[in-house]
Structure 1
Amino acid sequence: MRKILVVGAGQAGLQIALGLQSQGYEVTLMSNRTADEVRSGRVMSTQCMFHTALQHERDLKVNFWESQAPKIEGVGVSVAGPDSSRVIDWVGKLDGYAQSVDQRVKMAGWMETFAQRGGQLVIHGAAVSDLDYFSRTYDLVLVSAGKGELVSMFERDAARSPYDTPQRALAVAYVHGMGPRPEHPEFDAVRCNLVPGVGELFVMPTLTTSGRADILFWEGVPGGPLDVFQGVKDPSEHLALTLELLEKFTPWEYARATKVELTDAGGTLSGRYAPTVRKPIGQLPGGGLVLGVADVVVANDPITGQGSNSASKCAASYLASIIEHGDKPFDADWMQSTFDRYWETAQHVTKWTNAMLSPPPEHVLNLIGAAGQLQPAADRFANGFNDPSDFENFFYEPEKTGAYLAGLAG
């Protein structure tokens, strides 16, 4: 029986641990917090998982919240004009629904499941020196803790990382009491509100510790009018600021947010990080090798909502590579090829996300505008959140965008 250590109990680490456990591997999972601490702590992220990522959870039979979480059937795009009116407003329908489950709910539940099924759960923050010791007793060490000292073991891949500073200042509030969009009250959608030159507001239905809620998520251009959350510690002040910005920049969203309140004292989050791709293999002081997972090796800005989707896809890809490898050694060549296999899908996410962080070129503005009149274009854009590789066919190059729109209009 092969012994595998997974460091970090997020979407990817837990999904890999549960998947390996179901295949009979001897798995140890290290988390710096207990399940109860996770559940009662601060929100960790925004997350909206699309069909492919959700299917990976179904395949492992760990989709415990599927019947409770809101079914997100569309992705809406609105663009604010200079006077804060909407100049563009449409919603694309998803082929398969998306869902958001607060990671406090999911990670706590998955940690408990892993332990109940006989997995060894170690509550301990891991330092490089700890891994040096553990690497001698495990066949493979996977590092999926995306922050802190461990990440420094993985070298930045400059060729794949065009940005070296944060491109957005992030601010999140989980709320109860959000009203439906009057245009489409009959189904749930993620709403992407673009405020040119200022930033973006995302509104997404979610399932949190206290039931159904909505996430209000500002992505502000650094130094701009949305970049005002640094140093705000008080949750009610954070919410007040969030709503003030809604009223100013996206009044159509503010109109349904007048009665909201925070889900709980831990329902806010703010911060920023530079989108970075790193080399996948970390070398320990004693010579052992560890393999980076998900955010550790490919961290994109959340503007395209791909974080938890990428983590799920990375976990599924790594899981297949581990199982297919049988009892052969997990050496550097295997680690590199395992990452390369994941990068085949991850590269599309990185390319699209980095494109969305820049001011949109004219042909993209034309595409977003045309989607208001051409429902197939709106639907295709929405489904790109599930499969970003499709953007290669109609998004990046003016010629392809033009030909696609001409074909629809013809």
Structure 2
Amino acid sequence: MRKILVVGAGQSGLQLALGLQSYGYEVTLMSNRTADEIRSGRVMSTQCMFHTALQHERDLGLNFWESQAPRVEGLGVSVAAPDSSRATDWLGRLDGIAQSVDQRVKMAGWMETFAQRGGQLVIHGAAVSDLDYFARTYDLVLVSAGKGELVAMFGRDAARSPYDTPRRMLSVAYVHGLGPRAEHPGLEAVRCNLVPGVGELFVMPTLTVTGRADILFWEGIPGGPVDVFQGIKDPADHLSLTLELMERYTPWEYSRATKVELTDANATLSGRYTPTVRNPVGRLPGGGVVLGVADVVVANDPVTGQGSNSAAKCAASYLESILAHGDREFDEAWMRATFERHWESARHTTRWTNTMLGPPPAHVLDMFEAAGRLQPVADRFANGFDDPSDFEDFFYDGERTRAYLAAVGGRAAR
């Protein structure tokens, strides 16, 4: 039986560990926290997973919370005008439902499942020196812990990383008591509110440790008027500032948030990081090599909501590559080929995300405006969150965008 070590208990690490376990591999999972510590700790992310990523969980029988989490059927886009009214506002319908489950709920539950199924769970914050030993003990070491000294083993890929500083300030609050959008009161949807020159506010329904909730997520341009959360320690102050900014820049969202309260004492988060693509192979002092997973090697800004989706897709791709490799050695050549296979999909997410971090070009603003008149355009943009490769055909190039809009408009006029 082949022995595999997975370091890191996030979406990708746990999904991989549970997947490998289901195929009979001897899997050890290392986490720096217990399930109870994760469940009772601070929120770790925002997340909304779309159909393809959710299907990877279903294929492994890991969709434990699907009946409890809100069924997200749409994705809306609003663009703020200079007077804080809405210059653009529309809702695209998703072909398959999306869902958000607080990672505190999911990761704690998956970790307990892994242990119950006989997996070896080690609670220990791994260091490079640990991996030096484990690389000689295991057939394959997968690193999915995306922070700290372990990530430093994976050098930045300059050709695939256009940014060398953070592009957004991130601020998150999980709340109860958010009212429905008046335009679609009975429909669960992710709302993307774009405020030119300021940043973005995302609002998404979720399942958290205290039940159904909503996430209020600001992405502020560094140095701008929303970049004000650094140093805020008190959760109540964090929420108050979140709402103050909503009232100023997205009053249509603030109007349904006047009665919200935090879901729990650990329901806020803030920070920033630089979007980076890294070399997938980490070299250890003793000569061994390890393979980076998900955001260890492809860390995108959350502006397009792809973190958990990309992690699930990476885990599924790596699982297929491991199964197909059989009893052969997991050498560096295999590791690089395994990553490049995943990159064929991941590159589309990275390109789209990096594009959305810059000022939107005129043809994209034209497309957003047209989506308010042409439902197929709204629907196609919404479903791009599930399959970002589709943006290659109509989003990046102005001529292609105009041709697409003309074709859709012509069909609508007939």
**What range describes the TM-score normalised by the shorter chain of this pair?**
over 0.9
Partners of 1:136 and 1:278 lie apart in 2 by 24
**What is the CA–CA distance in structure 1 between the aligned matches of 2:344 and 2:112, rounded to whole Å?**
33
Runs of 5+ in structure 1 lacking a partner?
none
Quick one: which amino acid aligns to residue 371 of structure 1?
A
- Whichever residue aligns with residue 9 of structure 1, its letter is A
**2:231 is the counterpart of 1:236:** no
Match of 2:109 in 1: 109
Is the aligned partner of 1:276 residue 2:276?
yes
| 1:3-402 alignment runs, 5 A limit | 3-402=3-402
User: What secondary structure, in the 3-state scheme, does the structure 1 residue paired with 2:150 have?
Assistant: helix
Q: Which one-letter code corresponds to 1:139 in the other structure?
A: D
* 3-state SS of 2:173 partner: strand
TM-score normalised to structure 1 length: 1.00
Q: CA–CA distance in 1 between the matches of 2:41 and 2:398?
A: 46
Residues of 2 paired with 1:182 and 1:365: CA distance?
24
What fraction of aligned residue pairs are identical, expressed as a percent?
Answer: 80
Consecutive unaligned residues of structure 2, counting only runs of 5 or more, are: none
**What is the distance in 2 between the residues matched to 1:341 and 1:391?**
20
SS in 1 for 2:181: coil
Look up the equivalent residue of 1:33 and give its one-letter code: R
Q: Alpha-carbon deviations, 1:168-198, whole Å to 9, x = none? A: 0000000000000000012100000000000
1:257-276 C-alpha deviation (Å, 9 max, x unpaired)? 00000000100000000000
CA distance in structure 1 between the aligned counterparts of 2:311 and 2:68, rounded to whole angstroms: 22
AA in 2 matched with 1:165? T
The superposition leaves residues 342-400 of structure 1 with CA deviations (integer Å, 9 ceiling, x where unpaired) of 00000000000000000011100100110000000000000000000000000000111
Any idea what the Cα deviations from partners look like across 1:77-112, whole Å, max 9, x if unmatched?
Answer: 001000100010000000001000000000000000
Divergent runs of 4+, >4 A: none
CA distance in 2 between counterparts of 1:316 and 1:256 reads 38
Give distance in 2, aligned partners of 1:408 and 1:59.
35
- 1:379 counterpart letter in structure 2: D
1:287-322 CA distance string (max 9 Å, x none):
000000000000000000000000000000000000
Cα-Cα RMSD: 0.3
Q: Which amino acid aligns with 2:290?
A: V
